[in-house]
Amino acid sequence: MRGGLIGCGFFARNHLAAWRDLGVEMVLCDRALDRAEALAREFGAKAVYRDAAAMFAAERLDFVDIATTVESHRPLVEMCAAAGLPTICQKPFALDLADGRAMVAAARAAGVPLLVHENFRWQAPMQAMAGLLQDGAIGRPAFARISFRHGFDIYANQPYLATEPRLALVDVGVHVLDLARFFLGDVTRLYCRTQRLNPRVAGEDAATLVLDHASGAVSTVEISFFAKLDPDPFPQTLVRIEGDTGTLEVSPGYRLAVTTGGQTSVRSVDPPVPAWGERPWHLIQDSVIAIQRHWLDCLRNGREPAPSGADNLRTLELVFAAYDSAARGEAVTISGAAA
């Protein structure tokens, strides 16, 4: 297959390394042409463009991978849909639900698949937990605690994050709220409390949420970019899920414990380190390979990718509802009408 990558910034290198591992030829596009040319030299891309329309006109592409910031997502996704091109879009998918709905509608009208990239559900520990839940290892889930708390300096590589008026929920909430839905199903009601702990940042850098799920389960979601932990679990997400016959727990060091019948078994879910990767980033790098492999399989077999744009709208609805809940100081009912 042959794809076009739009956006050659911080995270694009992971996309390109994974595409190379998967045998996909890529051409590159970025308004900063020198940035695209530098990545082209590194990854052997045969063509670079400054303008996406020019790339579409000149190249035969099987899909487009959009790795730009959120402000450009809607025009680029709509441009891809108009060209009949299956599209991957980096998270966060949209600035608001109206933009998200417009992108989903454009892809649906064009009959092309739309995937939202870089999602925690594709990390190896989360996939292992999902497989055990599907197999009924702990019976019917009743409660989950999903925690992404660390003190890693996320602003060093992405300094713009420090100036964002909306930070933790938009940057990581889209991941951990998707995990809550992935494990326990859709949400009917949520309560959120946000905090700004680091005086150097403009937006909230911590949030705590309580979610009611349509299944009757309850989950808590915790996010912090300012936690003082030793050892710091970054970039791991720690999860405990309690069912009516047992408990699953992913703890620091990639330990997955399964407790049933009074007995606990523990195994490692530490993902492999890609040849081009390194610890501790291998957790994220391996998940990039996993989601892009999934995308190729969906294209070849005509299946809907996960999370699709339509599915991700339900997660975005939770993000925006969380801000509403925090501002109002009360729980918010989820309409479920995002798509």
SS3 sequence of 253-280: CCEEEEEECCEEEEEECCCCCCCCCCCC
How many whole angstroms separate alpha carbon 71 and alpha carbon 79?
14
**What integer pLDDT is reported at residue 157 of this predicted model?**
84
How many whole angstroms separate alpha carbon 137 and alpha carbon 218?
19
How many whole angstroms separate alpha carbon 17 and alpha carbon 2?
14
Q: What is the CA radius of gyration of the chain?
A: 20
Report CA dihedral (89, 92, 98, 99) to the nearest 10 degrees: -40
DSSP 10-33: TTHHHHHHHHHHTT-EEEEE-SSH
Residues 6 or more apart whose CB falls under 8 angstroms from that of 291 comprise 115, 117, 118, 119, 122
Mean pLDDT by 10 residues, the chain (339 residues): 95 96 98 96 95 96 96 97 97 94 98 94 98 98 98 90 94 96 98 97 97 98 96 96 98 97 97 97 98 98 97 96 98 82
Chain centroid offset of residue 16 CA? 17
Residues 6 or more apart whose CB falls under 8 angstroms from that of 152 comprise 225, 232, 234, 235
Cβ–Cβ under 8 Å, residues 245 and 262: no
pTM: 0.95
How many whole angstroms separate alpha carbon 254 and alpha carbon 238?
9
Domain ranges in the chain?
Answer: 2-112, 120-276+309-333
**What integer pLDDT is reported at residue 10 of this predicted model?**
87
By DSSP bridging, strand 246-251 and strand 238-243 are antiparallel
One-letter amino acid of 68: T
**What integer pLDDT is reported at residue 108 of this predicted model?**
98
**What integer pLDDT is reported at residue 336 of this predicted model?**
75
Tell me which DSSP letter residue 135 carries: T
**Tokens describing residue 158:** 């992405």
**Tokens describing residue 207:** 């949030």
Mapped onto helix, strand or coil, the DSSP state of residue 56 is helix
**What integer pLDDT is reported at residue 339 of this predicted model?**
61
Cβ–Cβ under 8 Å, residues 240 and 249: yes
- Which helix (H) or strand (E) segment holds residue 182: the answer is helix 174-184
Q: Find residue 220's DSSP bridge partners.
A: 145, 210
Question: What CATH topology corresponds to 120-276+309-333?
Answer: Dihydrodipicolinate Reductase; domain 2 (3.30.360)
Nearest one of 117, 115, 108, 68 to 84, comparing CA atoms:
108
> Residues 167-177: pLDDT tens digits?
999 999 999 99
> Residues 54-72: pLDDT tens digits?
999 999 999 999 999 999 9
Residue 10 neighbours by CB distance under 10 Å: 10
* CATH code reported for the domain at 2-112: 3.40.50.720
